[in-house]
Structures are given as structure tokens and as C-alpha cells.
Chain A
């Protein structure tokens, strides 16, 4: 029995992993977006955690790549807010600051991991691919 998949658009949707990037540095967000696009991800960028929460609901699928140090809601606070709202969204922290034990803290909080900027694309893609 052949399996029918209805609608090309849906097929695309299933194939492409969605990544949300939240970074107050616009250029960084844009660069990572272009990079991840070459890996065939679908990417949306935000310059603040608030704008991310405003336009993405917990039910929308996708992985969140979020900068730790940001004005307003910072990375840690955004993650907590996600957890508190019952979201299971996979989260990867990134930061240009040196954070002692940031990787440990991220893992303990239930995130996928932490990447120190600047990071290699392979390291990022490896982390993202942990998500099924």
C-alpha cells in the first residue's frame, strides 16, 4: 500500500527544522540565520525575548537559540518563562560573555547546551541535531 502524503507545503514543513534566534545584536542574528539556512533549516530572528514571546506561541514547533546577555528579558529569564509556561521547546544558549559553568547551568536547567561566541557552525548543528 502506497502512503499518500497530502500537500507539498506540509511535506516541506515536516522536513525543515525551525530555529528561532533571539539576539539583540542584529548582525549576529542575521549571520547565524544565513548560516543555518545553508543547512536547510527554517530560521526566524528576533532582537528581544519579548518580541519572540509576542509572535511565537508554545505550540509552534522549533528550537530556540537565545543570547544570554540582553537588555530586558535576558536568556536565563526567557528560558525560565518558557519552562514556567509548560513549554518543552529545546533551547540553546549562546553568549559573547564568559560565563563560568554556563554549560553546566544550561544543562541543569534542561536546555540543550551552551555555545561560547564565536562558535563553529558544526558545533551548533551538532547541538540542534540532538532534537529529533
Chain B
């Protein structure tokens, strides 16, 4: 494109030439004709110049508007220059700066990926780089961190800007902070899961009761056949009788498993209601009081006052408490110098309640730690090994965890968490 200066100098050159021509004796007429046509050309040029100037002004205004619009956009926008191999940012809008927490000065000329904090998942950065280097556009959602370490979910789209020959010269990126949307999704998911938990607790009970029925029938006939045979062999074959006695014993043990299972999941549909866990603990201790006294033990309680309610099935949670307490009593059996069992409640942040049952019993040998919660693991001659596994299912159905650790001063500490009722857990 020509500029105004070069047009003017071009014209004055021509005038100079014309003067030289006239000096060589060209007629005045000829000269004036030339001058006239030159003047016309000059006029046209002038109009052109004015048009160019207007155009340029409009272009400038347009750039101005675009820049303002980019800064007004709520999505973060940035441009990366491909010439610089290190993904340096040559432009970023206001929203981008707000989103990442850096000032424009910090951003321009910086490698885009360096704006990702160290804690960010670098595999994603690699993935983006690889995609761009293949001249493809990228789209994805990822966890990013602002300069101050705050995290946000970034829905990022980067596409390639090409010149007339189709060569990629720049990348333009748009990123949206979708943290709020994510949180909404998360809340919905949580609520759905909460509902699922409730039905799962119900389904479990339903399943157990039909399973119990199905298994009880053959157990009934096996027991009766075996007892009949045992009686028929009275005074005839004591060896066979001994075998039959084993069958009878095992049948009765199986029946006991079912009886216990049933009593643990007594009601067919769990009633999920707000529960004051402290109150439930007090009621449970009352239930156990005689047993505790007879076994010459004491239960100490340290209950955090004014705990928020939790949502759950009273009977099932009481079963968990009963299991933990009776396990602790078992662990302290025959150790008269260790008599103390303590139950504590506390609030972990505002999200969950922790209930801890601590005893001064025999503790748990390391090799058993992993097996405790598996079905039917027991170290007791008359144990069924169902208490802990069922307790854990119950707690997990309530959205919590049941864990164990050894008390450094001896004994075991079992604790479970239950999410605070009503509200949905904080997003993290």
C-alpha cells in the first residue's frame, strides 16, 4: 500500500520533469494540458487518500472496539504466537487475567503453560502441546490453579489461526471457568447417590431376608435328617454318630449366622431420619449397661456437644455401635487391669461426624489388620466374624467410613464417620 508521502513526492517528481521538458522548448499548450491532466490525477489521488485515511480510521476504530469487546467478554481469551517455540502469550483479555490471577504484564511474553501452577496436572499440558503441535485444535476440561493457589475448573478450547497459505501462525484460546457448573453437577450427583444409598440399604435388607429364607429350608431338613439318623444309630455305631454330631453342629452354626444376619438387618425398609448421634450412643450404652457391669468393665464417654444431626437408619447405626462395643468388651475379657472403654464423638470440619470407640484390650496383631473387615473373619472360638463386615457395609451405605487403628498405649481404636445430615458435602 502506498502512503501519502510517496504519492506527493511522486507528483512533485513529475512536475520537475515537466519543467525540464518545457525548458527543452515544448509549447505552452502542451504544457498546460499536461498540467491540467496532472491536476486531475492529483484530485483523484486526493480522494483516494481521503478514503484510505477514513478506512484506516475505521480499521483503528474497529480494532479498538474489538479490544474493548475482548476485554468485556466473560471468557478468558488469549493468543499464542507460534513463532516463539515456547508458547509465549502475545495477547490476553481482562477475563483471562482475572481467571488465572496474573496481571497482563506477567502474562505477555510468558509461556502459556508456565501459568499453570506446579500442582496442576502436567500430563494435560503435555496433551495440549501435542495436540497443537499437530496443528489440531484442543478442547477439554481440567482443574487449574490461580496464582494464589485457588483451584478452578477450566473448560479450555484452543484453535489454530492460519495465514493465507494455511500455515498456522497463532493459537487462539478461550477458557471458561466452569467451577460453579461443576459444583452443581456434583451436588446433583451427591443427592442421587444419597438416594441410592438409601435404596441400597433397603435392598440389602430385602436380599438378606430372602436369602435367609432360602437357606433356612435346607438347613431345616439337613438338621432333622441328621438328628433322626443320630437317634437311629444310638447304641449301634458311635463313629457314625460322631460324624452326624458334626453335621448337626455345623448346621446349627449356619443357622446362627442367619439369625444374626437377620437381627442386624431387622427391618425390611430402613428409615432414614435425622439422628442425634450422641443421643443414640447414650441409648446404646444403656442397653449394654448390665453386660458391661457383669463383665466388670466401664464405659467412658466424651461427646462433642451440639453436634448437627446426621441422616440415617437408627437401628442399623445402633447395630454398628453394639458391634464395636461388644468387640471391645471381648478384647478386654479376662484382663482385669484393663477395664476402660471410651466412646468419643467429634466434628470433622463441618462435613462429617466422627465416632470413636477405644478400648484397652488385646489390640490387633498386624497380620490381622487387613482381614478384620472381611466376612467371617474371627479369632474367637464362638465368633461368627460378621460384626465388623456388616458394620462396615452399614456405615458405607450411610456414606461414611469405618476404620481401625491400634492405640499406641495398647488396645484398639475403631472409628467411623458419617456425613452431616441434610446438607450436601462441600465440593472439593
Contacts and interface: CB of A to CB of B under 8 A. Distances in A.
A73 B233 CA distance: 38
A116 B212 CA distance: 12
B318 interface: no
A28 B221 contact: yes
Interface stretch (B98-106, B107-115, B223-231, B415-423): B223-231
Smallest CB-CB A-B distances: 7 pairs = A31-B224, A96-B216, A31-B221, A118-B220, A35-B228, A117-B220, A38-B231
Given A28-B217, A118-B251, A35 B224 contact: yes
A31 to B, nearest CB: 4
A56 interface: no
Interface size on B, as a range, is 20 to 34
B149 interface: no
A49 to B, nearest CB: 18
B223 A118 contact: yes
Contacts of B219: 117-118
Interface in A16-70: 25, 27-28, 30-32, 34-35, 37-39, 69
B307 interface: no
A98 B255 contact: no
Given A25-B217, A97-B209, A31 B225 contact: yes
A69 B217 CA distance: 12
Interface residues of A, number: 21
A101 interface: no
B251 A98 contact: no
Contacts of B232: 38
Chain B residues touching A, majority SS: helix
Contacts of B252: 118, 120
Contacts of B140: none
A26 B297 CA distance: 50
A118 B255 contact: yes
A38 B227 CA distance: 9
A121 interface: yes
Contacts of B251: 118
Contacts of B228: 31, 34-35, 37-38, 121
Contact of A34 (B212, B224, B259): B224
A98 B216 CA distance: 10
Given A31-B222, A96-B220, A121-B224, 16 more contacts: A25-B221, A28-B217, A28-B224, A31-B221, A31-B223, A35-B231, A37-B228, A69-B213, A96-B213, A96-B216, A97-B209, A98-B212, A117-B217, A117-B219, A118-B223, A118-B255
Contacts of B334: none
B220 A119 contact: yes
Contacts of A69: 213
Contacts of A119: 220, 223
B283 to A, nearest CB: 20
A131 B14 CA distance: 142
Contacts of A121: 223-224, 227-228, 231
Interface in A95-132: 96-98, 116-121
